Amino acid sequence: MATIVRKMKVEDLVDVKSVDLLCWNDLMERSYGIKIKLPARTDQNLISYLHSDMGGAFVAEHESSGIVGTVFSHVWGATGWVGPLSVLPTYQSKGIGKELLKHSLRYLEDQKCVDIGLETMPENTTNLGMYLKVGLHSEGLVVVLGRKLEKERLEEEPAGDVAVERYSESYVQEHLRMQARKIASAIRLGLDYSKEIELAKEFSFGDTIVATSKGRVVGFSVVHTVPRRVNLPAAGVRLLVVDPHAKGDILEPLLASCELLAADAGMTEISVAVPVLCRRALDSVFSRGYTVLQSFERLMWMGSSGMDEKAYNLCSWSG
């Protein structure tokens, strides 16, 4: 029976959530040998992914079984990435995942992205093999680190040369977005995170911390305080970026403010993704009591991975 790939619609999201849940619970059992009942993704998570790039969200639809696979695409200026990609367990190993992947990659190329890739768990040999067969190549490891949050023990917001403010409370939001684009593009030409800043505001699942020094924006961080999955009290640092030309310690004040923002929202845990290549960032995060929770292998279809040992460009390309 025929399976077609078409663009995702808002009314598909109930089925998309179901496919994702069945796929990832099956993956957990096969990868770790135990049954782990993951909760479903939050509606905010799926809606934000869909509205991030509606033209790059696809479903695989079987003529009798309905939606059996899904994929989302994300465009950050000249950088694009794929994820999450999910296929029902009974429809895996039939070429559906590969076809969804090809649709997403073509979409990102059509959007003029020059850096295109994704992340996958290195222990997931099936997916890793598919990505390598299609033509992606490994660029390095990204680790997700997390820590518990006890609000009364968190550091106060920074003082001295670095000041922080929350984007939602700013009267110059357009100026801050322009500065965020400038900083991201200084790390990788054409990289633009401003869409993530706007999505966090539009769908009310987080905020952006902006760091300034001597009146100049020197870094920013988008923090999600609505978790990806239901009833998981964990915030996530979606991305944290520091101006490569900035002087002094910007990373620590940003991290401290991210933790306070998460605690204020009632979260009891927070996580941040760090490229292993960036040793200075790893050392800073470890020094704050974080431990490694998970690892992802960043794979590239074309262009640069955006990982730099000298630049603080902390983000994950995993959905």
Q: Please check whether residues 300 and 155 belong to one and the same domain.
A: yes
Same domain, 107 and 174: no
Task: Specify the pLDDT at position 6.
Answer: 96
How far is 280 from 295, CA to CA, in rounded Å?
18
- Strand, coil or helix: 291: strand
Q: Are residues 161 and 289 in the same domain?
A: yes
Q: What is the pLDDT of residue 60?
A: 97
* CATH code assigned at 105: 3.40.630.30
Q: Are residues 64 and 176 in the same domain?
A: no
Whether 162 and 296 map to the same domain: the answer is yes
How many domains, the chain? 2
Residue 28 is predicted with a pLDDT of 78
User: pLDDT of the chain along its 319 residues, tens only?
Assistant: 589 999 999 999 999 999 999 998 888 777 666 666 788 998 988 988 998 899 999 999 998 899 999 999 999 999 999 999 999 999 999 999 999 999 999 999 999 999 999 999 998 888 899 999 999 999 999 999 999 998 767 766 555 689 999 999 999 999 999 999 999 999 999 999 999 999 999 888 899 999 999 889 999 999 999 888 888 889 999 999 999 999 888 999 999 999 999 999 999 999 999 999 999 999 999 999 999 999 999 999 999 999 999 899 999 999 8
In a domain, 130, yes or no: no
Half-sphere exposure of 319 (CA within 13 A, CB side): 27
Look up residue 7 and give its two tokens. 């663009």
Is there a single domain that holds both residue 74 and residue 192? no
153 and 91 both lie in a single domain: no
230: its two tokens = 């239901």
Statement to judge: residues 236 and 95 lie in one domain: no
Structural domain span for residue 83: 3-113
CA angle 212, 280, 193 (to 5 degrees): 50
Nearest to 237 by CA among 266, 216, 258, 264: 258
The reply to whether 156 falls in a domain is yes
From 113, 135, 153, the end of a domain falls on 113
Q: Which helix (H) or strand (E) holds 176?
A: helix 173-187
Identify whether 60 is part of a domain. Answer: yes
> Of 286, 288, 224, 283, which is closest to residue 253 (Cα–Cα)?
288
